[in-house]
Amino acid sequence: MSELIYKTIVVKVGTNVLSKPDGLLDEQVMSDLVSQIARMRQSGVNVILVSSGAVGAGRSLVHLSEKTHPVETRQVLSSIGQIRLINTYAKLFNAQNLLCAQILVTKSDFRDRRHYLNMQTCLNALLKQGVIPIVNENDAISVTELMFTDNDELSGLIASMMQAEALLILTNVDGVFDGNFHEGNAQVISEINSKKLDYSKYIKPVKSSFGRGGMLTKCSIAHKLSLMGITVHIANGKKSGILEEILSGVSVGTKFISQKRTSSVKRWMAHAEGYEKGTVFINRGAEAALLSHETATSLLPVGVLRIEGGFKKGDIIKICNEQNATLGYGMAQYDSQKAASLIGQKGQKPLVHYDYLFLKQPEA
C-alpha cells in the first residue's frame, strides 16, 4: 500500500452496511472490510472497529412473537446475535492471521473519569499487542438512560478517548448530499468546514432502515469531533476498498475538516452532557471573558452568580450564562460547599481552571 495519511483511526460500521436487504449479516461486505483493516494494520495503522449488527445477526437465529415487547426483542436478538457477530469477525480476522477482541460498553462507562481511563488503558494494550478491538454497545443491558443515541455517538466517544486522528463512519450512502439524493440531481459534498457550512439544511432527520441513527446524527458527531481536532469521513461502506481509498488521500465521501486539536481531558469533557454533578451560573462579564479568543481564561468565583446541585473536587460541572444557556463543562477544583462560600469574591483560586474547561461552540 502507498503511504497512508492516518496512523490511528476508528472505523464505525453501521447496521445498514453489514446487513442484507432482509436484515441478515452480509459476510461478503464484512470480509472486504476485514481484509482492508488487515492490510492497514500491516502498514502500521492502529484500527479500532466500532461495529453494529448484533440485532441483525440475531434475526437469523431466533424468531420472536410479534407480541414480544420491543425492549425485550432488542435484548434477546442482540444477546444471541452478538455471539454470531463476533464469531464471524473472529473467523475473518483469523484468516488474515489477526486476533480481534470484544469490548461491550454502556454510556455509564464514560461518566466516571477512572472508568474512562481504565477503558482507554485496555484499548491501548490491545493495540500494542496487534489485536483489533471491536467495540459495540451492550444492548442486552443498555435501555433508556443507559443507551447511546446510536453507535455513531459511541464511535465519537471512542475516537475522542483514543486520540484518533480520524473517525471513518461507514454507511450505505456515498456521503452528505447537497439535496435529496433520491431525486438524482444532488451531489456529494466533498468537504465540510464546521465553522462555515450549515450542513443541517440539507439533511432530513430520518433514521436508517435497521439502525437507530441517521445522517443528521452522524453529522452532529462529525461536527463536534472536527472542532476537537479529529477529522471525520462519512462514506459508503458497501463500496469495495473504501477504507484504503480514504487513507490513501482519495477524495471520496464527505470529509469534515478538523480544527485545532484539544487536550485529552477537554475531549472527555466535550462529551459530558448529562453527566454533570452540578450547575454553575455566571454573569455577563465572566461569560465574555470565557468566550474571548484573545486569552486563555479560567472560571473565577467573582463571576459566579449561583450554584445548583452538589459536587466534589474533580466532578464535572455544567456552566451556564444568565439566560440558562449552556456554555460548556469543566472539572471542579473544589467542592460545591466551598464554591458557594466564595461566590462573587475577588482574588480566589479558579473554580474551573482553563486546562480543565471545555467551551461549546455554536454549530454551523
Last residue of some domain: 235, 266, 297?
A: 266
- CA 113 to chain centroid, in Å, comes to 17
pTM: 0.76
Residue 134 confidence (pLDDT): 97
Tell me, yes or no, whether 131 lies in a domain. yes
Assess whether 121 and 206 both reside in one domain. yes
182 and 308 share a domain? Answer: no
State yes or no: 264 annotated in a binding site: no
Given this model, what pLDDT does residue 61 score?
Answer: 78
- Is 346 labelled a binding residue? no
Total number of domains constituting the chain: 2
Domain for residue 162, yes or no?
yes
The reply, when asked if residue 124 is annotated as ligand binding, is: no
> Are 87 and 33 contained in the same domain?
yes
Q: What is the pLDDT of residue 322?
A: 93
Q: Is 292 annotated as a binding residue?
A: no
Q: How high is the pLDDT of residue 209?
A: 44
Q: Is residue 331 part of a domain?
A: yes
- Both 150 and 222 in one domain: the answer is yes
The x, y and z cell numbers of residue 226, run together, are: 472536527
**Residue 239 within a domain:** yes
Both 207 and 329 in one domain: the answer is no
Q: Is residue 328, in this structure, part of any structural domain at all? A: yes
Judgement on whether residues 247 and 288 belong to the same structural domain of the protein: no
Residues of the chain with pLDDT under 70: 1-3, 139-149, 180-184, 194-213, 261-272, 293-294, 361-364
Within a domain: residue 157?
yes
Same domain, 158 and 295: no
Domain assignment of residue 110, given as a range: 8-266
Contacting residues for 26 by C-beta, under 8 A, at least 6 apart: 17, 18, 19, 20
Q: State whether 83 and 221 are in the same domain.
A: yes
Looking at the structure, do residues 145 and 12 belong to the same domain, yes or no?
yes
Boundary (domain end) residue, out of 233, 266, 299: 266
pLDDT of residue 198: 62
Here the CATH number for the domain that contains residue 52 is 3.40.1160.10
pLDDT of residue 193: 83
Domain termination site, one of 214, 245, 266: 266
Is residue 2 one of the residues assigned to a domain?
Answer: no
Q: Looking at the structure, do residues 29 and 147 belong to the same domain, yes or no?
A: yes
CATH number (domain holding residue 348): 2.30.130.10
Nearest to 344 by CA among 279, 287, 300, 312: 300
72 shares its domain with 125: yes
Same domain, 323 and 233: no
Burial tier of 179 (Cβ tally within 10 Å: 0-12, 13-18, 19+): exposed
Q: Is residue 284 part of a domain?
A: yes
